[in-house]
């Protein structure tokens, strides 16, 4: 199908983009890479009056390390995250995740800012920024606003962004001493949206988690920072304790039924990913099998 007719404006600067958004309000849509927006428009799920194309704003592209954060411009493409030495060093979770995002032709145009602003609950990068405790930087008529990733996602395709604001960057805390990461998802075909996925960041010292953040995706209306991980922090993880955490996780999740999976299947797969993640991060393969109590 084809997109409905719309007017087009090519933003010449962030300020110009903000003026256009202020003038058109929620009748405007921001076009960055277009890899989620264009399908939605072609399927007539979205019919904006005007498309504000920010694709030419070089100021929004690229990486910078500032103190203990890695700043990633909103227009940084998936392919750039895959190939970036800064990402490999400071935020390898993003690189691991992007390998699961769609296919090469789509990764060449899709952007991190676009993915976060689109807020598909089954997509990878929103869960990563939640697990990494990142900060989303947005700019609007009143200036800059910093929003914790955990408070940014509000529901299916819903974020804390106002129609007159532009997502300009993401700040990711750099991986510190002992930081370790896990990313895995179940999908029917590599590159498809996940049935269930997990992006996790942990700090391990002396065989224990001193910090552990689980970002599950495709199990609810937004990426979920699971509290079930908390009981594994500063504890000696046994098969029994892990089984308790898996049960707590299943209670915590409220997955949707769709063509791909039932809520029960999603709960099961989430628990499998939790066990796999803990076993991998603690380098204790025996934990993956699960416990019989």
Partner 1 sequence: MSVPVSISLLVNGEPIDAFVLPRLNLADFLRENLKLTGTHVGCEHGVCGACTVRVDGEIVRSCLMLAVQAQGASVETIEGLSDSGEVADLQAAFRERNALQCGYCTPGMLITAQDLLKQVSMPDRQAIREHLSGNYCRCTGYQAILDAVEATAKTRAERRA
Residues that bind partner 1 (CB under 8 A): 1-8, 10, 31, 34-35, 38-39, 42-43, 49, 51, 53, 55, 79, 102-106, 108-109, 189-191
CB 146, min distance to partner 1, A: 30
CB 141, min distance to partner 1, A: 24
CB 158, min distance to partner 1, A: 21
Q: Which residue has the tokens 């990402």?
A: 87
Q: CB-wise, 31 or 122, nearer to partner 1? A: 31
CB 52, min distance to partner 1, A: 11
Residue-wise DSSP of 222-246: S-EE-GGGGGGBTS---HHHHHHHH
CB 168, min distance to partner 1, A: 20
Q: CB-wise, 15 or 105, nearer to partner 1? A: 105
Q: CB-wise, 108 or 162, nearer to partner 1? A: 108
CB 182, min distance to partner 1, A: 21
CB 122, min distance to partner 1, A: 15
Q: At what angle do helices 239-252 and 263-281 cross, to 10 degrees?
A: 140
Q: CB-wise, 192 or 252, nearer to partner 1? A: 192
What's the burial of 33, exposed, middle or buried (CB within 10 Å: 0-12/13-18/19+)? buried
Q: CB-wise, 8 or 142, nearer to partner 1? A: 8
Task: Report the Cα–Cα distance between both ends of the chain, in Å, rounded.
Answer: 54
Q: CB-wise, 106 or 239, nearer to partner 1? A: 106
Q: CB-wise, 104 or 207, nearer to partner 1? A: 104
Joined together, the tokens standing for residue 279 give 């076993």
Q: What is the dihedral of CA 271, 275, 276, 282, to 10 degrees?
A: 150
């Amino acid at each position: 199908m084809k997109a409905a007719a719309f007017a087009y404006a090519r933003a010449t600067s962030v300020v110009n983009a903000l003026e256009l958004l202020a003038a058109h309000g929620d009748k405007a849509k921001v076009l960055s890479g277009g890899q989620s927006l264009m399908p939605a428009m072609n399927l007539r799920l979205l019919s904006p009056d005007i498309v504000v194309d920010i694709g030419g704003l070089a100021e929004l592209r690229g990486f910078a390390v500032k103190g203990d954060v890695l700043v990633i411009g909103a227009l940084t493409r998936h392919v750039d995250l895959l190939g970036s030495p800064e990402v490999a060093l400071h935020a390898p979770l993003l690189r691991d995740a992007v390998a699961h995002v769609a296919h090469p032709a789509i990764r060449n145009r899709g952007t991190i800012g676009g993915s976060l602003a689109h807020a598909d609950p089954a997509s990878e990068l929103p869960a990563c920024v939640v697990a990494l405790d990142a900060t989303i930087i947005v700019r609007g008529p009143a200036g800059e606003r910093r929003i914790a990733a955990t408070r940014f996602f509000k529901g299916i395709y819903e974020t804390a962004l106002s129609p007159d604001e532009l997502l300009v960057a993401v700040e990711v805390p750099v991986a510190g001493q002992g930081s370790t990461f896990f990313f895995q998802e179940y999908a029917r075909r590599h590159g498809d949206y996940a049935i269930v996925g997990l992006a996790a960041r942990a700090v391990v010292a002396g065989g224990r988690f001193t910090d552990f953040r689980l970002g599950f995706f495709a199990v609810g209306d937004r990426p979920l920072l699971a509290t079930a991980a908390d009981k594994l922090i500063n504890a000696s993880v046994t098969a029994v304790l892990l089984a308790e955490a898996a049960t707590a996780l299943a209670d915590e999740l409220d997955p949707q039924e769709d063509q791909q999976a039932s809520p029960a299947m999603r709960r099961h797969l989430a628990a499998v990913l939790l066990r796999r993640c803990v076993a991998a991060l603690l380098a204790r393969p025996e934990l993956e099998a699960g416990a019989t109590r």
